[in-house]
Structure 1
Amino acid sequence: MLWYVISTVFTVYSFALIIYILMSWFPGARQSAFGEILGRICEPYLDVFRRFIPPLGMIDLSPIVGIIVLRLAESGLYTIYAAIFY
């Protein structure tokens, strides 16, 4: 049950990141109320990766790295959870 909640949180945050990234394709989407909320949730996490990964022209690779790190963290937490509770 606990792992289900943890996994759901990781999945929801991953979807929030993807939606936030896709909103950059639509003019004014990030300035909407929903875009502002997602910005407050996603930007602090993405800023960590933007410090180390510079954009390549118009392409920002930090969201891709952020999602990969998020998935790796989820996998690592599952390994720890499985070792403790199974």
Structure 2
Amino acid sequence: MGQDPITLIVSLVGGISSFLLLMRFALQLSQADYYNPISQSVVRITQPVVGPLQKALRPRGRFDFATLIVAIAVKAISILLLIQFAPAFASLGGSINPLHLLVFSLTGVLNTLLTIYFWASLGAVIISWVAPSSYHPAPQLLLQLTEPLFGLARKVIPPIGGLDLSPILIFLLIQIVQGYLRGFVIL
């Protein structure tokens, strides 16, 4: 409420675009089911902007540099548009140091990726309580997305008496990292 329309539009379009790109990156990183309808939709939506760069930068195993570079570029363009046109950023005079832009873009991408993993982990925990053996594509995708993280966390905190505490460690680490990033995130 009370936000000017330019800031709202740039934030919304930039946020959704970077979310979809980073969701694609996270799905490929976790080797989630490519044939899941939600995965297919994310790939189909992001392919027009990622495809041309993927011809030059082929994915290396699970790591897709092209998608990550496009996500950073989308963050940078969103930040530049906010600085140029949004009244809230008028104090910057319409310009920004390229190094600062890179830092703000990288931290924004990392913050968005951490947010995706936070909510996916929370969703996976809730699904494990409510519908642990669901065959719906969304719960399956959440579990596939978060299982690599939970597996790493289980190496630090093994399950105790059948109770898996790995999500607590994941939540804690995400909150700590996002706390450090908070001063560098514009969008």
TM-score of Structure 1 vs Structure 2, range by shorter chain: 0.7 to 0.9
1:28 matches 2:136? no
TM-score with structure 2 length normalisation? 0.37
Give the match for residue 175 of structure 2: 71
- Given the alignment, which residue of 150, 160, 163 partners 1:56? 160
Residue by residue over 1:58-77, the C-alpha shift from the partner in whole angstroms, topping out at 9 and shown as x without a partner, is 21111011111011111122
Give the match for residue 40 of structure 1: 144
Name the Cα RMSD after superposition. 2.5
What's the secondary structure of 1:49's corresponding residue?
helix
Give the match for residue 18 of structure 1: 122
Segments ≥4 residues shifted beyond 6 Å: none
- Largest Rg, 1 or 2: 2
48-57 or 5-14, which deviates more: 5-14
CA contact under 8 A between 2:150 and 2:166: conserved in structure 1?
Answer: yes
Q: How high is the sequence identity, in percent, across the aligned residues? A: 27
Alignment gaps of 5+ in structure 2: 1-78, 80-104
44-53 or 5-14, which deviates more: 5-14
Count of residue pairs brought into register by the alignment: 81
